[in-house]
Amino acid sequence: MKTSYDFAVIGAGVFGAWTARYLRQSGASVIVLDAYGPGNGRSSSGGETRIIRTGYGGDELYSRWAHRSLPIWREFFARIGRDFFTQTGVLWLADRADSHVSQMPALLGRLGVRCETLSAAEIGYRYPQLIFSDISLGVLEPESGVLLARSAVQALGKDLAESGVEFLTAAALPPRGGGRLAEIKTLAGDAVAAGTFIFACGAWLPKLFPDVLAERIFPTRQDVFFLGPPPGSAAFHVGKMPAWLHHTHPDRPYALPDVDGRGFKIAFDRHGPECDPDHQARLVSADSLQHLKAYLKQHVPSLAEAPVIETRVCQYENTWNGDFLIDRHPGFDNVWLAGGGSGHGFKHGPALGEYLSARVLIGAPQEARFSLASKQTRQLRAVY
């Protein structure tokens, strides 16, 4: 270990890893600390799969970031010779009165993203294994798909290490004092000195900075199910079913086709109960399973009695409305905070790393929506 680094990035999830990558590319010395390691089972980036899609209603900022990020992910996968992207297509399901989905095609068109508008009849014809009597509009992004999240983040970590970034398995303690931070202490009693510190600690940010973030980042527990289709059935394979988001449903269910042999993945995007990312039990609740079964009976009847072959419990790290937090810490001159992925951050890793490194390295202007000042203490989700 060196005596001091240009940058210390705390947190090796997708936000920290992509930020470290861009900082290292500038020639700077970088150390990355993670309490449990890149893509670990407690982190939000440690899930098997994450959807990457460009559609964000009329929200141009996140549409542009997703559009920017996908080719960068793909370039990275091509360079390392391991493809962690599957082009499944992503289908939004809504009714025509839903302005979020109905304004999507115009924005995607402006950005040059291919999309198809489907009627309920076309959706029923193309995907007979799904039943959506409550929708009248579908917007399909055929070129979007699914990232193998944990594998991608771990590959990024390996690539960073090969490019000279140091990794340390260590839990950073909350920094004390104010002004210019010289070093951080770890739980094991070590000290890491750096010119600038970037805390990309996902759902742990409120624990590290309770005075600033306890009421501005809300970690919620999210149950995820993988179901086993009947033997010999290809109905839920890639090519037969896209990833889909049932946007008109109050619980906002979403599902992914069988990628990498894990089965049909389904979860509810509605925020679950508040949770602690270190200690929450990672077993799905019986209520949650019952709720899922009721949904399947109505919308995916052939899987209503399918065996649950795997479950995961992860957490969202929500800001008040879903906008990311990427800003300086108000009490330290050389400390940055990056988080608030709010259930949709994974895809944006490359764009976020590019954005944050440009603020840190050359003082590029900041987007107001990412500022700490914009983060309210109530919850009113607006980004989907």
Residue count at the site for ligand FAD (CB under 6 A)?
39
Binding span for ligand FAD by CB under 6 A among 112-120, 132-140, 196-204, 299-307: 196-204
Residue window 133-162: x/- pattern of binding to ligand FAD, with contact defined by CB under 6 A: ------------------------------
315 touching ligand FAD, by CB under 6 A = yes
**Minimum distance from residue 24 beta carbon to ligand FAD (Å):** 17
Burial class, 213, CB count within 10 angstroms (exposed 0-12 / middle 13-18 / buried 19+): buried
The residue (of 28 and 31) whose beta carbon lies closer to ligand FAD is 31
Residue window 169-188: x/- pattern of binding to ligand FAD, with contact defined by CB under 6 A: --xx----------------
247 touching ligand FAD, by CB under 6 A = no
Restricted to residues 324-343, the positions that interact with ligand FAD (CB under 6 A) are 339, 341, 343
Binding span for ligand FAD by CB under 6 A among 32-40, 297-305, 328-336, 370-378: 32-40
318 touching ligand FAD, by CB under 6 A = no
Q: Measure the CA–CA gap between 205 and 243, rounded to whole angstroms.
A: 30
**Per-residue DSSP letter, 259:** -
Sequence-distant (6+) residues with CB within 8 A of 342 are: 316, 317, 318, 319, 322, 323, 324, 381, 383
Nearest Cα residue to 103 out of 142, 60, 133: 60
Q: Measure the CA–CA gap between 207 and 214, rounded to whole angstroms.
A: 7
The torsion angles phi and psi of 277, rounded to 5 degrees, stand at: -65, -25
DSSP run (H or E) holding 151: helix 149-162
Q: Contacting ligand FAD (CB under 6 A), which of 8, 9, 16, 196?
A: 16
Dihedral sign, CA of 134, 139, 144, 149?
negative
33 touching ligand FAD, by CB under 6 A = yes
69 touching ligand FAD, by CB under 6 A = no
Binding span for ligand FAD by CB under 6 A among 22-30, 118-126, 129-137, 311-319: 311-319
- Cα(first)–Cα(last) distance of the chain, in Å? 42
168 touching ligand FAD, by CB under 6 A = no
Q: Measure the CA–CA gap between 357 and 201, rounded to whole angstroms.
A: 16
Question: With contact defined as beta carbons under 8 Å apart, do 288 and 295 qualify?
Answer: no
DSSP run (H or E) holding 59: none
Q: Contacting ligand FAD (CB under 6 A), which of 5, 6, 9, 10?
A: 10
Q: Contacting ligand FAD (CB under 6 A), which of 51, 213, 259, 383?
A: 51
The torsion angles phi and psi of 221, rounded to 5 degrees, stand at: -80, 130
Binding site for ligand FAD (CB under 6 A): 10-16, 33-36, 40, 43-45, 47, 50-51, 171-172, 200-204, 208, 222, 224, 267, 314-316, 339, 341, 343-347
